[in-house]
């Protein structure tokens, strides 16, 4: 007899029939019916209507039937809490059953029923089961605590389950210990009140290490992961833990191996880099990592992503193992691409010949992505190993000869980088490159080719013709190509001014007049101005020496790398992203590597004075884009505001243009004409620099700091603060004052879920320890990627501040205007349409009293705070301002402000899809205008 | 931890769906189907993130097994678990196919309930699971029986039950090696390694403690404590000892003992299990060499000559030798001549497959073929995949030797001498490729 038949019933009156069968007297028939119900549930049919009937089958001594009913219960209890409650009795009774398998089953299932009323009844049986004589029941109960905590954290903490859980760490049975550890780790991730009672110390770690030798493979993973979260108190402890963890590297389970690697990688930070222990550990890490590459492809993938991090952190590991990363013909594509990445990292002078031979093979494979990456890799080899550059270029030329379109394009992109690295060395190949001009259809390849032509314009006889040919379809090009073309032609002009004036005028006109793209237009104007005012300066800027590009590319930024090392084996290490990027909640707390404190006194001796050793921000290795730096030249990443600023500084002061001479003269006039308004163009540019000057001191309204946490409530800690907005970011300005008698340290801050998902964007960095009677101020950048939960009042944010004395809570009101974003300006038409669309009942009308400004000042003041005036009308002597603003969460609010001259009372009408928002916004207007 | 587990057939229909965590909703089932199974472009990673939810998947023939989570879980553990779960299912009902899964869905739910609690993997040992998940409906077990089950599931020796008895105590050791090779057309070894497995079938009474000795350099040196000096290293023991790069053990092996005393000791599970895995890269005796010669004669013809040389003792016989010579996609036909074995052009596989049933050591065989090509005007360039080989030889190409396996059982009266021991060496081809 098979079970597949249960999947096949699709009749209409099914539910009705099932109901009858479920209430049948025959046991077999009942069981059949429940199986059918489960099958329907699996394929997604709604069988919740049968709830009462199924639950009635629960009281049975047939274990199989019982399990099926439980399965059903777990799925549907939430939808029918009232009926579900009848199951409680059976659960409680089952928890007393003489058979431990049934006791465990009951505990396991109860925890999965997420109904508040039931949860209350669960506590007593659970408490009993945590102390059960049978380890099987205890290990199940341990997990149940985590389940319960997920449903009702407070209940768990109040009922003292945390202590019970902690006691299980000393259990004689290793599996009970392992499950207790798993539960504790999970609770710690979601709750910070649990922190104090569950914090690991060297004593508990010792117990875990003992259990490690005896528990199942999965238990070992839980234990190792938990150990990796512990910060050893000194290097001796770190060393001894490492020694006890290393045997795990020989385990058959890849997860055990990787978790052990994580512990060792983290703890090595504490050890003296030159010590023998570190040398030995480094040696021991390499073989097991290599072995992971013969596991199943999915595990290989996880291993490779992690190896990529490990070799960046400690290049010594695996430096001699290049060959194992050679790609096999049948590897899945995701394994191939990762191997390629690691090959590049391990390339050095000694193995370059082998690597290059391999890469050439790969470039002939079928998969387009893989081939492209291989070609790119050859270029990276050239940049990394100077001795091999020539061979790499040769290989690339061979590949270009194949005429396979995407290979050629990719090759040209990397050759551009090679030119950057070794200027004036390989120009001989330009001719070959130019042959392929017509086949390039990808923007990056086109841009690269244009860059090469511009850069070597003086040596390419027909450079002007080549560039002109690109110019024909200027409008249709990608922005990247347009920018590149503009720059290349200006370069050409500076190098060969006599015969290229026409070309340069043409491109400047295209860029400034016919383009909607502000970047392009601005760059066009800047060039134009440079050329017309001071050609010598233009030459200096446009043809400036370029900074060298770095050897290593795609390096992960060091602070992120350190964080990811703490997450080896986890999803974060697979995505190469911090957990906060893909996980919600508190699990996203940033982890950082411990620091080596050799030379300093051990922490425990001097007390906590140097406990939170100020974490030194490692200097950030700039990414490729910023290294390329030279804005006027390469534009693959787009200029940063900083660079723009710099450029403005390089520009001559906006005095009237000195009369340029010679060929340039002609051009100057031509360009004036281009702008149509003659000198007007200059003014507009002058205005531009004014804007640059004033932007930084825009008068954004920042409310004065107010006391959020009085010292009396904070055990001596006083917190005052306010909110501000700068450079499109929200900041919480905080001042901590220590009014206690002892120094304070170990500050941390956390936000509760709030209406706008506000969350600290970085950990709190504050002077620590904070001596008595001193205060420290800090700007805490915030983002809005947190969890959203509507608060009442809407703008409330609940904050928890922690220090060595305790955890303190306070709540504060976010002034709404810091949430107004810079992009809130609407089109007139859109504004009208939206105004009409929002129903009238959503309109809220309020007055603002005692404002002594005229309409223009008002509009300016609001503008500074990202409220944009879209239109102004004068109706019967009253000024009507129509305004729009947009909140960080995308909610738009439209406003109509009525100002009567001579009257100090304004009428403000607000309209928004979300009505609740209007009240705090009115408040914000009021504050801004009274400032 | 794991938030939910789904099994789909190739069409994306759900066969099994079990949700462990509240943050995973029913829509997750559909998200995976739409974004991965039915994705327009084949997914290029076994991990997919859709709207902050991560999906891990593996495939068994045309069945998709997916784990879902919204947390930063241990990814290695999830994949290990998925593979393990397939192993458990296969041990219960054979091949993982749509039919078998539908036929056993109640069983699967029961297994899942046991091996995954709130998303945390629990004991996944098949032997133990089979003692209490039987699908017979548990008849009222005696107290002793259930106590025994629970102590095994959670026990320190979770892989063996007490009170096993055999009339004849014996075990079988299989040293199974797969040789992997990548060779350049010129005969240069680009990479070679042996991945070895030691599979043991044990039929031993009681709770026997076993000690296992192999000819690994490190282990042997630490045993010969008297001659640890450098001078002694090249000495007598060095000749037969091999250098093992890395090894991994079944969970029954006491790893801390291996680390400190360099001895492999364990209490084996009953029946078949994989005791050890190891990897070597040095001094591998490659059983075969393939010498390819490919000549493109004009646009419509290609000549291929392949010589296979066996390189081991003439008294030994290799079996199931198969050479696979890839042909271009536009092949219209091939004339194949070979001295030994049978060779055939298989259009469906785009290859000439040459099979030799048996081949003794130190022999040489040759195949030559003329391949006719269709005239395609633009046609993509053919990338010449490598020539691959399959074979089975009765020795361990790494030089691995079992030195001893001693059995001690103190409680029951049988000694090491009474145990019948069988050891067998098999070398197989892994990825054994020669570029051409």
Convert the pLDDT of each residue in B327-356 to its tens digit. Answer: 988 888 899 999 899 999 998 888 999 999
User: Which pLDDT does position A691 carry in this prediction?
Assistant: 40
How confident is residue A249, by pLDDT bands cut at 50, 70 and 90?
A: very high
CA gap B181, A697 in Å, rounded: 68
Q: Which of A100, A150, A214 sits opposite B150 (nearest CB)?
A: A100
| Residue of chain A whose alpha carbon sits nearest to that of B71 | A583
C-alpha A716: how far from chain center: 36
User: Which pLDDT does position A12 carry in this prediction?
Assistant: 60
- Assess B176–A contact: CB distance below 8 Å, yes or no: no
Burial class (CB in 10 A: 0-12, 13-18, 19+), B282: middle
Query: What mean pLDDT is predicted for residues A82-88?
Result: 82
- Assess A281–B contact: CB distance below 8 Å, yes or no: no
Place of tokens 């104090």: A196
CA distances from B217 to A917, B225, B365 (A): 75, 13, 36
pLDDT digits (tens, 9 = 90+) for B26-56: 888 899 999 999 988 877 899 999 888 999 9
How confident is residue A637, by pLDDT bands cut at 50, 70 and 90?
A: very low
- Assess A245–B contact: CB distance below 8 Å, yes or no: no
Convert A189-220 into a string of H (helix), E (strand) and C (coil): HHCCCCHHHHCCCHHHHHHHHHHHCCCCHHHH
Task: Provide the pairing of β-strand B420-434 with B170-183.
Answer: parallel
- Assess B152–A contact: CB distance below 8 Å, yes or no: no
CB within 8 Å: B118 and A42 = no
How confident is residue A614, by pLDDT bands cut at 50, 70 and 90?
A: very low
Of the two residues A872 and B310, the one the predictor is more confident about is B310
DSSP assignment of A393-424: HHHHHHHHHT--HHHHHHHHHHHHHHHHHSTT
List CB contacts (< 8 A) between B82 and chain A. Answer: 298
- Structure-token pair, residue A454: 């511009």
**Rounded to the nearest 10 degrees, what angle do helices A202-212 and A174-190 cross at?**
130
pLDDT digits (tens, 9 = 90+) for A140-166: 999 999 999 988 888 888 888 999 999
Q: Does pLDDT of A633 surpass 50?
A: no
Query: What mean pLDDT is predicted for residues B176-196?
Result: 90
The terminus-to-terminus CA distance of chain B in angstroms comes to 47
CA gap A336, B65 in Å, rounded: 23
Q: Would you say the ipTM is above 0.85?
A: no
Place of tokens 């390089």: A650
User: Which pLDDT does position A679 carry in this prediction?
Assistant: 40
How confident is residue B427, by pLDDT bands cut at 50, 70 and 90?
A: very high
B72, B97, B128: which to substitute to probe chain A, counting the most A Cβ within 10 Å?
B72
CA gap A312, A326 in Å, rounded: 19
Torsions phi, psi for A440 (to 5 deg): -75, 120
CA gap B162, B376 in Å, rounded: 70
Q: Does pLDDT of B156 surpass 80?
A: no
CA gap B332, A665 in Å, rounded: 71
pLDDT digits (tens, 9 = 90+) for A725-754: 887 888 888 888 888 777 788 888 888 888
- Structure-token pair, residue B12: 């994306």
Q: In what order do the strands lie in the sheet with A892-899?
A: A844-848, A906-912, A892-899, A878-886, A868-875
Tally C-beta pairs within 8 A across A and B. 277
Q: Which of B49, B109, B384 sits opposite A575 (nearest CB)?
A: B49
Torsions phi, psi for A862 (to 5 deg): -70, -35
Chain B (208-237) residues lying within 8 Å, Cβ to Cβ, of chain A: none
Q: Does pLDDT of A219 surpass 50?
A: yes
Q: Which of A179, A287, A302 sits opposite B76 (nearest CB)?
A: A302
- The residue count of chain B comes to 436
Hey, which of A147-151, A754-758, B175-179 has the most confident mean pLDDT? B175-179
Report which of A183, A251, A187 is spatially closest to residue A213, judged by C-alpha positions: A251
The terminus-to-terminus CA distance of chain A in angstroms comes to 81
- Assess A9–B contact: CB distance below 8 Å, yes or no: no
- Assess A818–B contact: CB distance below 8 Å, yes or no: no
Q: Torsion-angle region of residue B200: left (phi > 0), alpha (psi -120 to 50) or beta?
A: beta
CB within 8 Å: A364 and B158 = no
pLDDT digits (tens, 9 = 90+) for A476-528: 888 889 999 999 999 999 888 888 888 888 899 888 888 888 899 999 999 98
- Cα R_g (chain B), whole angstroms: 26
Cβ-proximal residues to A770 (8 Å cutoff; 6+ apart), any chain = A736, A738, A743, A744, A745, A747, A776
User: Which pLDDT does position A615 carry in this prediction?
Assistant: 39
The DSSP output letter for A658 is: P
Task: Provide the pairing of β-strand A878-886 with B420-434.
Answer: unpaired
CA gap A869, A727 in Å, rounded: 21
Cβ atoms of A784 and A759 within 8 Å: the answer is yes
CB within 8 Å: A3 and B386 = no
Query: What mean pLDDT is predicted for residues A67-91?
Result: 84
Computed from CA positions of residues A387, A390, A393, A397, in that sequence, does the dihedral angle turn out positive or negative? Answer: negative
Q: Indicate the helix (H) or strand (E) that contains B129.
A: helix B126-132
**What is the reported pTM?**
0.68
Cβ-proximal residues to B229 (8 Å cutoff; 6+ apart), any chain = none
User: Which pLDDT does position B202 carry in this prediction?
Assistant: 92
DSSP assignment of A849-903: -S----HHHHHHHHHHTT-EEEEEEEETTEEEEEEEEEBTTS-EEEEEEEE-TT-
CB within 8 Å: B76 and A333 = no
Q: Which of B104, B246, B435 sits opposite A291 (nearest CB)?
A: B246
Chain A (572-591) residues lying within 8 Å, Cβ to Cβ, of chain B: 572-575, 579, 582-584, 587-588
Q: Which of B47, B52, B147 sits opposite A584 (nearest CB)?
A: B52
Cβ atoms of B323 and B308 within 8 Å: the answer is yes
Chain A (333-392) residues lying within 8 Å, Cβ to Cβ, of chain B: 333-334, 337, 354, 357-358, 361, 364-366, 369
- Assess A404–B contact: CB distance below 8 Å, yes or no: yes
The SS3 of residue B339 is: coil
User: Which pLDDT does position A82 carry in this prediction?
Assistant: 81
Q: Does pLDDT of A254 surpass 60?
A: yes
Cβ-proximal residues to A919 (8 Å cutoff; 6+ apart), any chain = A794, A844
Q: Does pLDDT of B62 surpass 70?
A: yes
Q: Which of B74, B125, B154 sits opposite A176 (nearest CB)?
A: B154
User: Which pLDDT does position A304 carry in this prediction?
Assistant: 96
- Structure-token pair, residue A363: 């470039």
């Amino acid at each position: 007899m098979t079970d597949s038949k249960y999947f096949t019933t699709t009749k209409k009156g099914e539910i009705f029939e099932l109901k009858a069968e479920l209430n049948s007297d025959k046991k077999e028939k009942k069981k059949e019916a429940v199986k059918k119900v489960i099958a329907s549930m699996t394929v997604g049919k709604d069988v919740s209507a049968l709830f009462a009937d199924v639950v009635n089958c629960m009281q049975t001594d047939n274990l199989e039937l019982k399990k099926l009913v439980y399965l059903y219960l777990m799925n549907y209890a939430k939808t029918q809490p009232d009926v579900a409650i009848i199951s409680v009795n059976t659960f409680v009774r089952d928890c007393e059953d003489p058979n431990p398998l049934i006791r465990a089953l009951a505990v396991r299932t109860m925890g999965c029923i997420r109904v508040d009323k039931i949860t209350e009844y669960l506590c007593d049986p659970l408490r009993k089961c945590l102390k059960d004589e049978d380890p099987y029941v205890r290990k199940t109960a341990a997990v149940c605590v985590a389940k319960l905590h997920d449903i009702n954290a407070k209940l768990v903490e109040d009922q003292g389950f945390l202590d019970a859980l902690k006691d299980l760490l000393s259990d004689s049975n290793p599996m009970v210990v392992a499950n207790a550890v798993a539960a504790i780790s999970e609770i710690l991730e979601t709750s910070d009140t649990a922190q104090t009672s569950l914090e690991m110390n060297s004593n508990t770690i010792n117990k875990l290490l003992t259990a490690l030798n005896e528990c199942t493979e999965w238990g070992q993973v839980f234990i190792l992961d938990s150990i990796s979260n512990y910060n050893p108190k000194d290097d001796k402890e770190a060393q001894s833990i490492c020694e006890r963890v290393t045997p795990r590297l020989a385990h058959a389970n890849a997860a055990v191996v990787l978790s052990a690697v994580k512990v060792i990688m983290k703890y090595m930070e504490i050890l003296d880099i030159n010590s023998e222990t570190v040398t030995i550990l480094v040696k021991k890490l390499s073989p097991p990592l290599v072995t992971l590459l013969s596991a199943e492809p999915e595990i290989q993938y996880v291993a490779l992503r992690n190896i990529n991090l490990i070799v960046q952190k400690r290049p010594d590991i695996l430096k001699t193992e290049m060959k194992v990363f050679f790609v096999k013909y049948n590897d899945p594509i995701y394994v191939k691409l990762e191997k390629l990445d690691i090959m590049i990292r391990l390339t050095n002078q000694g193995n370059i010949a082998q690597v290059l031979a391999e890469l050439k093979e790969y470039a002939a494979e079928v998969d387009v992505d893989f081939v492209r990456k291989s070609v790119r890799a050859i270029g990276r080899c050239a940049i990394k190993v100077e001795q091999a550059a020539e061979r790499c270029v040769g290989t690339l030329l061979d590949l270009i000869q194949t005429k396979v379109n995407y290979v050629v394009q990719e090759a040209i992109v990397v050759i551009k980088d090679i030119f950057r690295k070794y200027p004036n060395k390989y120009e001989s190949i330009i001719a070959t490159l130019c042959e392929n001009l017509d086949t390039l259809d990808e923007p990056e390849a086109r841009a690269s080719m244009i860059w090469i032509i511009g850069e070597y314009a003086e040596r390419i006889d027909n450079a002007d013709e080549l560039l002109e040919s690109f110019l024909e379809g200027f409008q249709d090009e990608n922005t990247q190509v347009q920018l590149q073309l503009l720059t290349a032609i200006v370069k050409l002009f500076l190098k060969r001014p006599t015969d290229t004036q026409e070309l340069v005028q043409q491109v400047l006109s295209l860029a400034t007049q016919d383009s909607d793209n502000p970047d392009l237009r601005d760059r066009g104007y800047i060039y134009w101005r440079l050329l017309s005012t001071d050609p010598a300066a233009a030459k200096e800027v446009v043809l400036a020496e370029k900074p060298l590009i770095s050897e290593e590319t795609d390096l992960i930024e060091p602070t992120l790398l350190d964080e990811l090392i703490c997450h080896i084996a986890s999803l974060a290490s697979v995505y190469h992203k911090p957990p906060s990027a893909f996980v919600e909640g508190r699990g996203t707390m940033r982890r950082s590597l411990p620091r080596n404190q050799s030379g300093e006194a051990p922490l425990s001796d001097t007390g906590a004075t140097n406990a939170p050793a100020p974490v030194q921000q490692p200097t950030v290795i700039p990414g490729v884009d910023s290294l390329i730096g030279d804005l006027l030249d390469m534009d693959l990443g787009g200029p940063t505001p900083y660079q723009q600023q710099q450029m403005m500084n390089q520009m001559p002061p906006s005095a009237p243009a000195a009369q340029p001479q010679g060929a340039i003269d002609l051009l100057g006039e031509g360009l004036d004409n281009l702008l149509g308004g003659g000198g007007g163009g200059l003014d507009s540019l002058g205005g531009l620099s004014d804007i640059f000057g004033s932007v930084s001191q825009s008068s954004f309204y920042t409310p004065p700091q107010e006391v959020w946490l009085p010292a009396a409530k904070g055990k001596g800690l006083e917190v005052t603060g306010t909110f501000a907005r700068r450079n499109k970011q929200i900041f919480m300005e905080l001042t901590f004052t220590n009014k206690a008698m002892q120094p304070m340290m170990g500050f941390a801050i956390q936000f509760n879920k709030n209406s706008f998902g506000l969350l600290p964007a970085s950990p709190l960095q504050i002077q620590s320890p904070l001596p008595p009677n001193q205060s420290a101020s800090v700007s805490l950048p915030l983002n809005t990627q947190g969890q959203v939960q509507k608060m009442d009042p809407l703008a409330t944010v609940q904050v928890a501040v922690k220090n060595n004395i305790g955890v303190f809570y306070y709540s504060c009101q976010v002034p709404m205007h810091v949430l107004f974003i810079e992009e809130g300006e609407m089109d007139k038409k859109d504004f009208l349409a939206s105004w009409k669309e929002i129903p009238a009942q959503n309109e809220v009308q309020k007055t603002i009293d005692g404002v002594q400004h005229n309409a223009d000042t008002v509009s300016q003041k609001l503008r500074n705070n990202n409220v944009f005036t879209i239109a102004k009308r004068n109706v019967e002597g009253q000024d009507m301002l129509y305004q729009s603003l947009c909140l960080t969460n995308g909610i738009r609010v439209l406003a109509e402000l009525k100002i009567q001259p001579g009257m100090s009372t304004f009428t403000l009408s607000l309209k928004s899809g979300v009505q609740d928002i209007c009240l705090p916004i009115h408040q914000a207007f009021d504050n801004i205008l009274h400032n | 931890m794991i938030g939910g587990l789904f099994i789909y057939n190739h069409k994306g229909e759900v066969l099994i769906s079990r949700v462990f965590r509240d943050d995973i909703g029913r829509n997750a089932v559909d998200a995976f189907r739409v974004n991965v199974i039915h994705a327009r472009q084949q997914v290029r990673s076994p991990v997919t993130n859709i709207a902050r939810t991560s999906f891990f998947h593996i495939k068994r023939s045309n069945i998709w097994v997916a784990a879902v989570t919204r947390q930063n879980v241990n990814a290695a553990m999830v994949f290990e678990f998925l593979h393990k779960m397939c192993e458990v299912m296969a041990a219960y009902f054979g091949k993982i196919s749509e039919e078998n899964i539908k036929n056993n869905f109640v069983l699967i739910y029961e297994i899942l309930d046991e091996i995954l609690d709130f998303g945390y993997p629990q004991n996944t040992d098949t032997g133990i699971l089979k003692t209490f998940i039987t699908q017979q409906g548990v008849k009222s077990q005696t107290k002793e029986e259930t106590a025994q089950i629970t102590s095994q599931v959670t026990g320190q020796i979770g892989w063996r039950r007490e009170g096993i008895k055999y009339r004849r105590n014996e075990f079988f050791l299989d040293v199974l090696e797969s040789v992997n090779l990548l060779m350049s057309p010129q005969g240069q070894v680009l990479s070679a390694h042996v991945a070895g497995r030691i599979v043991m079938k044990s039929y031993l009474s009681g709770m026997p403690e076993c000690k296992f000795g192999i000819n690994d350099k490190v282990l042997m040196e630490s045993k010969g404590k008297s001659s640890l000096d450098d001078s002694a290293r090249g000495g007598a023991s060095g000749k037969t000892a091999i250098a093992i790069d890395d090894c991994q053990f079944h969970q029954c092996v006491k790893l801390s003992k291996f680390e400190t005393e360099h001895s492999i000791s364990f209490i084996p599970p009953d029946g078949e299990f994989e005791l050890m895995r190891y990897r070597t890269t040095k001094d591998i005796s490659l059983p075969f060499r393939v010498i390819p010669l490919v000549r493109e004669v004009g646009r419509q013809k290609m000549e291929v000559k392949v010589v296979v040389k066996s390189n081991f003792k003439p008294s030994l016989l290799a079996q199931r030798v198969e050479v696979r010579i890839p042909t271009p996609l536009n092949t219209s036909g091939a004339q194949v001549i070979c001295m030994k074995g049978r060779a055939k052009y298989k259009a469906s596989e785009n290859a000439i497959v040459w099979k030799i049933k048996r081949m003794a050591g130190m022999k040489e065989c040759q195949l030559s073929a003329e391949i006719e090509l269709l005239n395609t005007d633009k046609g993509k360039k053919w990338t010449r995949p490598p020539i691959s080989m399959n074979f089975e030889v009765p020795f361990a190409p790494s030089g691995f030797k079992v030195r001893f396996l001693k059995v001690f059982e103190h409680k029951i009266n049988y000694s090491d001498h009474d145990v019948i021991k069988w050891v067998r060496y098999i070398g197989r081809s892994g990825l054994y490729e020669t570029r051409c």
